[in-house]
Structure 1
Amino acid sequence: MDIERKHAELIDLFVKQAAVLDGPALAGLVLEATSHPSLFAFSEILSVPTLAKLEGTLYSSSLDVLRLFAYGTWSDYKCNAGSLPALSPDQVRKLKQLSVLTLAETNKVLPYDQLMQELDVSNVRELEDFLINECMYAGIVRGKLDQLSRCFEVQFAAGRDLRPEQLNNMIQTLGNWLDTSDGLLHLIQDKIKWADTMSEATKKHCKEIEDRVEEVKKISQGRHGLTRPRGDAL
């Protein structure tokens, strides 16, 4: 929770700074944000109105870079490197970290071969060092390195920014979840009512048995009194 709070505070700081900057200063802020070792979400910064003003200016490439870090991967950068500025080592590391998160969104078992291809890593040692030092120690993923099966078993992965086209699917998924939850809630309520009804019936039945036992006791005691032998007359 503390990590999430610090991350939210960091995003808020960059959002406030972006709101009052423009031109080269705003481009510098984008570079700082995409290089920051603790920042892994960028859509809120991207939504600041001043960023949209970079479109069509000398600094429009900074806007493209911010979009890449919000939604893209290292492979996306390689495919579009000709139209994007060169990345610093810190940015390269960050984009590769984000690429691991993207892969973990859809698969919880990531083959080493797939990871090495996606991250441009040439050997297993380098890959495992990256996963341990840059991903697990950073707190963005947890998992198990399976050297025998040559795969990374993901136990937890931080979520990335939702792409605009993903919102409808997310809304639909949440709607389905709410419908299912509502159905389960009604089922549970029905079960509770049934249990309450059965409990009352059981209590009533027990009371009837107790009353019957008491009645039998009284009858038995009455009969016992009538048949008790009298003492011998003197």
Structure 2
Amino acid sequence: MDHANFSAKLEPFLLMSKSVKGAAAAKLIQDATAAPGVFVFSELLELPNIQELGKSEQHRKFLTLLQLFAFKTYQDHLQHKDALPPLNQAQIIKLKYLTIVSLAAERRILPYADLLKALDISNQKEEQLEVTYTAGRDLEPGKLEQVLAALKGWANTTSAVLTTLDAKINSIAADTAAQKLNQQEHERILQAHLKEVFEKQKEKSMGGGMASRRAAFQMGDRENMMDVDEPDNKGKNRKASSEAAPKPSRKRNKF
């Protein structure tokens, strides 16, 4: 709801009220309180020719009607019907809307029992009405200090909530920073261990390779030594064989 829009809806009645008195002014009040979208009435109520209705026995009840829509509730209508003109259906519905606005100004969750009493309703499924948005009403004379006190209380509550939120945000930020440091330290230690394992594996691999090469070198030496000895043995064996073999005898022919 836009309060500026409410004022715009009231504007035609303000213009007409400047030139009406008596019965015409009373009729204007009836029309304004029943008109769709008109929910604020203080500007109309403050006009001198409207205030003059209170001086007339015949038209006084219409001034009371305008005060009812400006400041009061549906319960006030029920309690003072004799001092008011009869209300049509549009006026009753609007007055109930305004009553809810007044209740919502005091609390956000409206209990079923309070609504039943204030609006004369017989059924409400959840037994309460939750108000998410409401409009302001005309400020009744003498209520300014009450409104200021309510605003001060709201400001104090808001400040306390903001302080709590700031503390919570700072706590979360500190926890996040600590977790980040712990993670970095964990990563550093992990990398150090991985490096240490890698170095040990590298040293072990290098030591095994040198041992293998040393063993291979020794085996090569043995084979070379065997290759050197074998020809000598074969030569000696051949010589021995040739010496051991008998020489063929030559027979001479005698004539």
TM-score (norm 2): 0.56
**Deviation for aligned residue 1:49:** 0.9
**Deviation for aligned residue 1:34:** 0.4
1:156 matched residue in structure 2: 133
2:12 matched residue in structure 1: 13
Structure 1: which 5+ runs fail to align? 125-146, 181-234
* Greater fraction of residues in strand: 1
Alpha-carbon RMSD across the aligned residues, in angstroms, is: 2.3
The 2-side partners of 1:172 and 1:119 are apart by 27
Identity %: 33
* Greater fraction of residues in helix: 2
Query: Given the alignment of the two structures, is residue 45 of structure 1 paired with residue 22 of structure 2, yes or no?
Result: no
**Deviation for aligned residue 1:30:** 0.2
Query: Given the alignment of the two structures, is residue 168 of structure 1 paired with residue 167 of structure 2, yes or no?
Result: no
- Which structure 2 residues correspond to residues 100-111 of structure 1 after superposition, within 5 A? 100-111=100-111
Structure 2: which 5+ runs fail to align? 157-255
Aligned residue-pair number: 155
The 2-side partners of 1:23 and 1:154 are apart by 40
> Equivalent residue of 1:155, what SS?
coil
The 1-side partners of 2:59 and 2:5 are apart by 29
**Deviation for aligned residue 1:173:** 6.4
| Counterpart amino acid of residue 92 in structure 2 | V
**Deviation for aligned residue 1:79:** 0.8
- Which structure 2 residues correspond to residues 1-234 of structure 1 after superposition, within 5 A? 3-57=2-56, 58-124=58-124, 147=125, 149-170=126-147
The 2-side partners of 1:18 and 1:44 are apart by 11
> Equivalent residue of 2:23, what SS?
helix
Rg comparison, structure with higher value: 2
Q: Deviations over 1:96-149 (max 9, x none)?
A: 11111111010100012221221111222xxxxxxxxxxxxxxxxxxxxxx4x5
Using a 3 Å threshold, how does the CA distance of structure 1 residues 84 and 105 change in structure 2: closer, same or farther?
same
> Equivalent residue of 2:132, what SS?
strand
The 2-side partners of 1:172 and 1:123 are apart by 35
> Equivalent residue of 1:164, what SS?
coil
| Counterpart amino acid of residue 67 in structure 2 | R
1:227 matched residue in structure 2: none
